[in-house]
Amino acid sequence: MEVIRTIAATFASCEAARGDGRTVGLVPTMGALHDGHRSLIRRARAERDHVVVSVFVNPLQFGDPADLEAYPRNEQADLEAAAVEGVDVVFVPTVEEMLGSGEGAAEAAVSVDPGPLGDRLEGASRPGHFRGVATAVAKLFNVVGPCAAYFGEKDAQQLAIVDRMVRDLSFPVEIVACPTVREPDGLAMSSRNRRLSPEQREAAGCLFLALSEAAELARAGERDTAKLVAVMAREIGATPKAALDYAAVVDDAFEPVERIEGPARALVAARFGEIRLIDNLRLPS
Ligand code: AMP
């Protein structure tokens, strides 16, 4: 496994692989790798010849400097996990390498507009977040070149925005959506989970519980999304140490819907102290 810190060497490695007729798979991450990330890496490993994992805590997508500062980082453990999964290249750029050095380094002058979807739900709670995501992901796609890129459904809105960006801007990239990996109690794995206190960790189970209740109602035939949203809000609202940010039901285009008439997804976001977690579940139709 090669550990590469520059854009030029990563591009050269992927170009060489493609020149040999090998397919390239990319798994973008912010590190602190857990089994959710590893499921994406395994899928890429199974489906592509040359697997690149990027580890970059992207300052552009953090509105709150304290959140960026507190984000877990463990490069050694990440490299070990990548090696175990048979990764070919780990791309670990510095902020300077990815975003340029000097004043305003964390504010690229040119950025990718994520479109209207970037302003809703997560985008409304975290202004500028999806512009930062889209800009960094677009850059990564240019660093790696034509490839299949693996993203988790855990971050469903991010996945929808990246998918739309690839289509609207004709990136030579195939987006592969991968299912959410969960803890035994249903909590979606997340690098942020390791910052939860034991009480907050227990409370965080309410996210999956809320989504499951909404799914159960939908399975029983409920089509009125206001009822589903109310059930989710009640479950999270009744959990000590949990503060609801939003509960919503959207269609495949991530538009809020009043009635479930096709593919739909329930989404929740809540705070547990300083730590904000999100989750979502496809609803049975
Ligand atoms: P992150 O490091 O949190 O930016 O995540 C990197 C990639 O891993 C994104 O595509 C996430 O959606 C995906 N991911 C994070 N957590 C999970 C999970 N529990 N299950 C599946 N994919 C995940």
Dihedral sign, Cα of residue 43, residue 177, residue 233, residue 114? positive
CA distance 152 to 134: 15
CA distance 249 to 283: 9
The verdict on whether 37 is a catalytic residue reads yes
Query: Are 173 and 147 in contact, with CB atoms under 8 Å apart?
Result: yes
Average pLDDT (51-69) is 96
For residue 102, pLDDT over 60 is answered with no
Question: Which residues make beta-bridge pairs with 60?
Answer: none
* Confidence at 101, pLDDT banded by 50, 70, 90: low
According to DSSP, residue 153 is labeled: G
CA distance 155 to 270: 14
- Note the pLDDT of residue 245: 98
Rg (CA), the chain: 19
Report the separation in Å between the CA atom of 276 and the middle of ligand 1, taken as the mean of its atom positions. Answer: 15
CA-nearest residue for atom 5, ligand 1, is 29
Q: Which atom of ligand 1 is nearest to the CA of 151?
A: 10
Taking only the tens place, the pLDDT of each residue in 238-276 is 999 999 999 999 999 899 999 999 999 999 999 999 999
CA-nearest residue for atom 14, ligand 1, is 152
Indicate if ligand 1 lies below 6 Å from the C-beta of 36.
yes
34, 37, 50, 129: the active-site residue: 37
Average pLDDT (67-88) is 97
* Confidence at 108, pLDDT banded by 50, 70, 90: low
Report the separation in Å between the CA atom of 50 and the middle of ligand 1, taken as the mean of its atom positions. Answer: 20
CA distance 56 to 146: 20
Indicate if ligand 1 lies below 6 Å from the C-beta of 193.
no
- Note the pLDDT of residue 100: 84
For residue 143, pLDDT over 90 is answered with yes
Dihedral sign, Cα of residue 55, residue 58, residue 61, residue 64? positive
Report the separation in Å between the CA atom of 199 and the middle of ligand 1, taken as the mean of its atom positions. Answer: 24
CA distance 152 to 172: 19
CA distance 132 to 238: 34
Average pLDDT (63-91) is 96
- CA 13 from centroid of its chain's CA atoms: 25
Residue 228's closest CA among 187, 254, 267, 263? Answer: 267
* Confidence at 107, pLDDT banded by 50, 70, 90: low
Mean pLDDT of the chain: 96
The tokens for 134 are 């889209």
For residue 194, pLDDT over 80 is answered with yes
- Note the pLDDT of residue 109: 82
* Confidence at 106, pLDDT banded by 50, 70, 90: low
Place of tokens 């507009």: 113
Taking only the tens place, the pLDDT of each residue in 16-50 is 999 999 999 999 999 999 999 999 999 999 999 99
Report the separation in Å between the CA atom of 102 and the middle of ligand 1, taken as the mean of its atom positions. Answer: 30
